[in-house]
Structure 1
Amino acid sequence: MAEDDIVKDILTSAINLAVQVIEASNETIFFKKECDEVKNKVQKLLELLEKALIASSSLCEFPTRHVISIAEAMRRKSLSLFYKGIPRVTNRFITIIHVSTYQKMLVGLERSINDVSWLLNVSVPSNDGEQEELFGLPPFAMNDPTLSMIYELMAILYRGTLDEDSCEAARSLRSMASDNPRCAEIMIRNGLCSVFAKILRQGSMRAQAEVACTTSVLVASFPESQDLFAQHDVIQLLLSHLVTPEVEDSLQMKAMAAKALRELAKGNSSICKSITDSKRFLRFANLLETQDKQVRYNSLMVLTEITAVAEQDSDLRRSSAFKCKSPVFKAIVHQIHKLTGENGDTVLLIPCITLIGNLARAFRASDTSMIEQLVKLLGHQDPKVSREAIVALTKFARPSNYLHNDHSRAIVEAGAARRLIELSSLGCEIRIPALELLICIAAHVPEKEEVVKVLECASNQPLTNSQMC
């Protein structure tokens, strides 16, 4: 059922209940004055609900559901009270109702009137398209002001009347979520996923970019939201933004869409499969060629997260995207090979190396070019690059890799042994991974005397204080 239809059903049910309460009030004979006061409040509430029904397309489901549920509870209490004041033939006892009960009912109904008035105010734009200034908090939010603020920002986004207002609302939600994970959870639990999906379908490019960026922050703050976003089709909506023509705004949109997809894919097999099964997955290879560094980096990080999951998930690893003969695999590997060959920008280089390591099980024995590239990087001037290259090569040489013997020989033949002995003389952050890799290849290529000699040399080296872990 569409959200507009859900809101209409909620309001129609609420209106029917209000009419029922008014009809019951006309039949009461006890405490007539108090009943009339309650009836007047319900009548005023009914008028507001009818206005809300007319404007239902502008109302978000969850704020509406929250406010109306409180109002319904009060009307049900009113109905129960009025029924007790209706004379019936079967009644054998007189029901005694204290006047204070009516007073509490009046207070509760007044709060509901204020709640619904607030809902209309934040959801329905004025004639000039701008939001009216709000004063104070609605009664329902007195104990939790954050909820009211979140609902107001969600309503601005949902209406989408002014582009700048939508962008500012998305930025405000992002700031709240990054400062406090509880705020992120409140947003998600109260329907922000559906609001974001609407913006990603219909909003301006600027608003969509802001929403995509906020999505990444929300998911990072509240990882449980990954599947909720997926249920609202946000994954496919973000992927669709990766194929738009490249102009300034769309580059920002692509960068933010990739940033959001990175967080959504992190550690989530089903979402990773949804991305890799998409025809748009090939687009990531093209994005790695884009001149915009932010787009390249964020796209690279999406691939790194997906391959990290595939490394642990055999079902995902067996999908067509990770078959060495598939066009997607070839295109991505080709671009990664180019990026590692340039090896000037460590910001891009390190995740490239990580990605190669994650894909180590997918390479055939004859695919030695990546291994040769990694061995060259062992001599990189940045120790972080050298260490990441060691970790990636180790994934080729581990026994868990079916082709570990072939890969180990390729590592040795690429000249890794001597480079590793040089690295094993450095601090423990590099020394230990280097020795682990040497042990792996020594176990799998015992006929290579060079490796054995290198290991003997490494074992005879004394540890300095800076090298001890």
Structure 2
Amino acid sequence: MVLQTGAASAELPPRAPRMAAAAAAAPPAPAPPEERRIEDELSHPIMLSERVRSAVDEAESFKSECSELGRQVDRLSQMLRSLVRFTTSAQSLYDRPVRRVAADVSRHLERALALARKCKHQSILRRVVTITSAADFRKLGGLLDASAGDLKWLLSVLGSDGKGGGGIELSLPPIASNDPILSWVWSFIASIHMGPLPDRIEAANELASLARDNDRNKTIIVEEGGVPPLLKLLKETSAPDAQIAAATALHYLANDQARVQAIVNELGVQTIVQVLGDAPMRVQIQVASLVVSMAKHCPLAREDFARENAIRPLVTLLSFDMFVDDPKAGKPMQSIHSIVQINKEKESKSLGKLNSHNSYSDGSRSGSHKKDRENEKPEVKMRLKTGCAEALWMLARGSLLNSKKITETKGLLCLAKLLDEQGDLQRNCLMTIMEITAAAEANADFRRAAFKTNSPAAKSVVDQLLKVMKEIDSPSLRVPAIKSIGSLARTFPARETRVLVPLVSQLNHSHQEVATEAAISLEKFVCPDNFLCKEHARAIIESKGVPPVMILLKGSGRMQLHGLYLLCYLAISSGNSEALEQARVLTALEGADRSVAAQHPDLRELISDAIYHLKMFHAGGHPQKPSYLVEI
């Protein structure tokens, strides 16, 4: 059976719903020409060699040169026939180098045929017009020797002795003399296709080493069809070392959208999710890293992972060996893992289309792996949790569907609990929460479903975010916690001092980014789009939020800009507050109105509106309403 190469797969269009309309409107594209069978590719040079032999036998000039030419062609013919016998009997064949070498041999044999025919009996005039010299034979002889070297290398790589693979061959064939990487890639891919398991593992590790070096090597590996055999090796459930080697190589390839798409086009997502759900822990660690790379560099891959429900095994692994308080009465403790397992079993009833070998609850292997996980070292468990948390972060980034799936699998409870950890695990969980809350901010239905006021998971997340803000003095952690609170601004009830007071305190932070993000989050509480903006504005002012905002105005860039936005919203929602008058907010906004007029026209209008509200309450008169606010 001849396997398809990765280069052909890489040309497939990405599967995206938005392309459906365009595809319907456009005329159908012509079908690509079918690739000829490998036997047909090899029969052409064999036929040419026979014609050359006939022409050599009929030659009447340059007989010694033609005799040598015939000897070279006979050697090529014998090697070609050996190659045909092997390709017809091989159960699995890596045909990419075979086609390239066969095409080169055919070109050289065509030149040999043309030269031999010139040596037949011809008229004197024809001999004068057609000049043939010994140099032509020497040049052609070098080309035929190169073809013989290519065929010899090819037979050694493929294993023409019928033992199922010739091992890794690092010699350099003439066809790849200008690009040694190409021959190495061919040799490694052929070994993964056809070699015994130890050779397949070694070849996968060698491909990973090449891919780690530079992007050009990565592109060659994908174009020469390296992805399908690596995915096949990843399925070797009885050989964890093989799975790790394949996952590592794919991980190094998956740092570019086009290469990730090549993996997706080979149905790689299904294989990855299957292995992720049912493999030893050290395999799962490497596969989680592969998910991170693919989701990070390709939005379409995130969609495919969502369709295959990669969130389920990731949350299950993240919650392994973890217990949290059950919010329901009557059950003091319950494992998140058991919750996820119950949820998984319910979902499996609606996934009858999945084959039995894709099931995550497959008998003895799952039980054995679970027992192995329980006996693993704590540092190995931590690596797995950290990798799964990062995978969830990348999958949730910009994906409403994946964010929904995380909340549906009780993932929020798990993420909230793990915020008590330290290091990369804590940061990855925090970044995942930030992406989920950003999706909730952009989608009202999801926000209402996942972050209801009485939701134990939502309450736990908010409590942990506030804990990070108060207790962890690290800007890299405080900033995503502050952003998450801001994204949930519309979910909090009126005068939510439990959240607003800690946010206001961040305005005084010495780190500029922390203070700026706090201002941005508070904007979301008091902007007119928030139904409770007036109540939140009064709570911020009562929490002594005006003085630190005035300090932000003395900064520059984003800090000053968002300080102005926040101050304007406070003035518009609570213009009659004495705290605003005492802080001389009116004077500050009038000065800012002149400085930002050119750079931020929208902010200028907002400042004018805020000045109008302040004058209306504090100037003792009835100021003229800005023209853009006058009702028509």
Q: Please indicate, yes or no, whether the TM-score normalized by the shorter chain is above 0.5.
A: yes
Q: Distance in 2 between matches of 1:42 and 1:122?
A: 22
1:348 aligns with 2:425: yes
- Choose 355-364 or 117-126, whichever is displaced more: 117-126
SS at 1:379 equivalent? helix
Q: CA deviation at 1:150?
A: 2.5
Q: CA deviation at 1:211?
A: 1.1
Asked if 2 retains the 8 angstrom alpha-carbon contact of 1:6 and 1:61, the reply is no
Asked if 2 retains the 8 angstrom alpha-carbon contact of 1:171 and 1:210, the reply is yes
1:442 aligns with 2:477: no
Q: Distance in 1 between matches of 2:307 and 2:118?
A: 62
Q: Distance in 2 between matches of 1:88 and 1:154?
A: 50
* Residue of structure 1 equivalent to 2:248: 213
SS at 2:172 equivalent? coil
Q: CA deviation at 1:117?
A: 0.8
1:157 aligns with 2:192: yes
Q: CA deviation at 1:351?
A: 1.8
Asked if 2 retains the 8 angstrom alpha-carbon contact of 1:281 and 1:328, the reply is no
SS at 2:69 equivalent? helix
Q: Distance in 2 between matches of 1:412 and 1:102?
A: 95
1:65 aligns with 2:99: yes
Query: Aligned to 1:35, which of 66, 84, 104?
Result: 66
Query: Aligned to 1:380, which of 440, 447, 471?
Result: 471
Query: Aligned to 2:281, which of 236, 251, 272?
Result: 251
Q: CA deviation at 1:88?
A: 8.6
1:11 aligns with 2:42: yes
SS at 1:345 equivalent? coil
Summarize the Cα distance change of 1:198–1:47 in structure 2 as closer, same or farther, 3 Å threshold.
farther
Q: CA deviation at 1:14?
A: 3.8
* Residue of structure 1 equivalent to 2:142: 107
SS at 2:383 equivalent? helix
Asked if 2 retains the 8 angstrom alpha-carbon contact of 1:258 and 1:302, the reply is yes
Asked if 1 retains the 8 angstrom alpha-carbon contact of 2:231 and 2:268, the reply is yes
* Residues 424-463 of structure 1 mapped to structure 2, 5 A cutoff: 424=507, 425-443=509-527, 444=530, 445-448=533-536, 449-453=538-542, 454-461=544-551
1:121-162: per-residue Cα shift (whole Å, max 9, x none)? 223187998957968522122222222232232233223314
Letter in 2 for 1:251: M
- Choose 182-191 or 127-136, whichever is displaced more: 127-136
1:227 aligns with 2:306: no
Letter in 2 for 1:194: P
- Choose 271-280 or 365-374, whichever is displaced more: 365-374
* Residue of structure 2 equivalent to 1:50: 81
Asked if 1 retains the 8 angstrom alpha-carbon contact of 2:168 and 2:188, the reply is no
Q: CA deviation at 1:349?
A: 2.0
Root mean square deviation of aligned Cα: 3.4
Letter in 2 for 1:38: L
Q: CA deviation at 1:20?
A: 4.0
* Residue of structure 1 equivalent to 2:498: 415
SS at 1:266 equivalent? helix
Asked if 2 retains the 8 angstrom alpha-carbon contact of 1:126 and 1:132, the reply is no
SS at 1:97 equivalent? coil
* Residue of structure 2 equivalent to 1:297: 386
Higher helix share: 1
Q: CA deviation at 1:300?
A: 2.2
Q: CA deviation at 1:422?
A: 2.7
User: Once the two structures are aligned, what percentage of the paired residues are identical?
Assistant: 21
1:270 aligns with 2:300: yes
Letter in 1 for 2:173: P
Query: Aligned to 1:333, which of 412, 418, 424?
Result: 412
Q: CA deviation at 1:389?
A: 0.7
Bigger-Rg structure (1/2): 2
Summarize the Cα distance change of 1:18–1:254 in structure 2 as closer, same or farther, 3 Å threshold.
farther
Asked if 2 retains the 8 angstrom alpha-carbon contact of 1:18 and 1:46, the reply is yes
Q: Distance in 2 between matches of 1:34 and 1:158?
A: 42
1:268-290: per-residue Cα shift (whole Å, max 9, x none)? 23322221111554222212123
Asked if 1 retains the 8 angstrom alpha-carbon contact of 2:101 and 2:151, the reply is yes
Letter in 1 for 2:300: S
Asked if 2 retains the 8 angstrom alpha-carbon contact of 1:209 and 1:256, the reply is yes
SS at 1:447 equivalent? helix
What stretches of structure 1 of length at least 5 have no aligned partner? 311-316, 398-405
Summarize the Cα distance change of 1:23–1:197 in structure 2 as closer, same or farther, 3 Å threshold.
farther
Asked if 2 retains the 8 angstrom alpha-carbon contact of 1:21 and 1:75, the reply is yes
- Choose 127-136 or 96-105, whichever is displaced more: 127-136
Letter in 2 for 1:455: G
1:193-235: per-residue Cα shift (whole Å, max 9, x none)? 1231332245832112111112111222x44211111222222
1:283-313: per-residue Cα shift (whole Å, max 9, x none)? 2221212352222222222222222131xxx
What stretches of structure 2 of length at least 5 have no aligned partner? 5-35, 322-380, 441-445, 561-632
* Residues 298-313 of structure 1 mapped to structure 2, 5 A cutoff: 298-310=387-399
